[in-house]
Amino acid sequence: MSAYDFDRTEVVIIGSGFGALAAAKKLAKAGTDFVLISETTEHLFQPLLYQVATGVLSAAEIAPPVRAILAGHPGADVRLGRAVDVDPEAGVLTYQASGRTRRIGYDRLIVATGARQAYFGRDEFAEHTFALKTVEDAEALRRQILGCFEYAHTTDDPQRRKELLTFLVIGAGPTGVELAGQIMELAQRYFAQSVAGLSAADVTVRLIEGADEALPAFGGRLSDYTRRSLERGGVQVDLGSFVTEIGDGVATVTDACTGAAEQLRAQTVIWSAGVQANDFAEVLAARTGCPTDRAGRLKVNPDLTVGARADVFAIGDMIAIDGVPGQSPAAMQGGRHVARTILRRQPQGTAFRYRDKGSMAIINRGRAIARIGRIELTGLIGWMSWLVVHLAYMVGFRNRMIAVVSWVGSFLGHKRPHFHLAMSEPAVPAATELGQVDPQTPPTDPAPPAADDAACRVA
């Protein structure tokens, strides 16, 4: 029997996001033994995924290995696995690793399994849209975007060219705003410079939002500035509109006021309209009796414990607690709070207090918004603030330096250092034909069929 079929440790942490790593670092520095179990080997800096999708950064620069982050702490044991069940009474977690089911006992359990894309009861939309939650999502979307421009360059069919160069972005939260702005900049500053016969006027980017404001979490002047900036940059912003149907290469957009419906043909539809807790939240809720909200998030206690369990904690965007956004700074603060409780540096039951140090969101090159207390920043000052804050949160000096070089080339110049596409690359879910042309068969002008969030807050 393997030593890992059943073993025991002081603390088990599930996840490798901001909250999990914040707790792990604090426990590691205190010399507390723990096992961190994650479905991925990297710590993903999710707010910069859109830059991977648009060729500004590579995945390696925003997803360093968890083992490297925790190197030098002998009490840290990182395992690649997927949590599937928990017995809170016995203090045992069941997880799958290396094709086997394993169990591990714990004194304290920290769950930070995050959130996934939500489709508001229309899960079939996932088959026809691109999401942006993982590195794989970002790389698939990058291949799709580049493939659409490449095939539009060689097609002789005007209608197909129009559909290839039409991009629909659903949801005007930070992810949707960032993607819409960056795709339009790709057309204006990269493809218009590098692809003969193509101009930004050939490209349509439509941002569709059900609320009456872009970036509705900000509201007022900042939301108005966001909409105006996008429109000046060439993005068509449709507010008060909902996508009611999505099929292969077509989406139906309905006006919330008039009920008028419009069919839009596009080979790329990006969904960024909402999130819900990952599957393990449901398991944990059932085992502990913890209530959940409509998005499946755990309604944890004020001290971040789950249900009636004083030894089980949940943090990050899998929880619902008044006044606490489901964003990385809140997750990090929550992780540190839980670690302090476990280390007995504060009394058991101490309520978590979130310290809101501000919110910011980027729109496009040279334009961003920020709200820090009563101070509101827009334009170049907001943009520079956004860059500095996100640079500070990147892990590792090398990654920061590479990011600076990439930003200079992309935002001040016309370079996209990580844009590449080969005919031999595997197909992506909503772009089957992009990488699957038989080299023995003459090309027949294939076309790829069609494919929440709150603002990033300053920790």
Domains of the chain: 6-39+81-117+276-342 (3.50.50.60), 123-272+359-423 (3.50.50.100)
Q: In what order do the strands lie in the sheet with 359-364?
A: 375-378, 367-372, 359-364, 456-457
SS3 453: coil
Q: How far apart are CA 232 and CA 226, in angstroms?
A: 10
Provide the Cα torsion 342, 343, 348, 352; round to 10°: -80
SS3 29: helix
Q: How far apart are CA 414 and CA 418, in angstroms?
A: 12
Q: Confirm if 151 and 434 have CB atoms less than 8 A apart.
A: yes
Measured on CA atoms in the order 273, 147, 60, 177, is the torsion positive or negative? negative
Provide the Cα torsion 43, 47, 52, 58; round to 10°: -40
Q: Confirm if 310 and 301 have CB atoms less than 8 A apart.
A: no
Per-position b or e across 185-197, b if 16+ CB within 10 A of its CB:
bbbbbbbbeeeee
- Tens of pLDDT along the chain (459 residues) come to 455 688 999 999 999 999 999 999 999 999 999 999 999 989 988 888 999 999 888 888 888 899 999 988 989 999 999 999 999 999 999 999 989 999 999 999 999 999 999 998 899 999 999 999 999 999 999 999 999 999 999 999 999 999 999 999 999 999 999 999 999 999 998 888 888 888 889 999 999 999 999 999 899 999 999 999 999 999 999 999 999 999 989 999 999 889 899 999 999 999 998 889 999 999 999 999 999 999 999 999 999 999 999 999 999 999 999 878 888 889 999 999 999 999 999 999 999 999 988 888 999 988 999 998 889 999 999 989 988 888 777 776 667 777 787 777 777 777 776 776 655 554 444 444 443 333 333 333 333 333 344 444 444
Residues 6+ positions from 129 with CB-CB distance below 8 Å = 170, 246, 269, 270, 271, 430, 450, 451
Q: How far apart are CA 276 and CA 281, in angstroms?
A: 10
Q: Active-site positions?
A: 178
CB atoms near residue 416 (< 10 Å): 21
Q: How far apart are CA 198 and CA 203, in angstroms?
A: 9
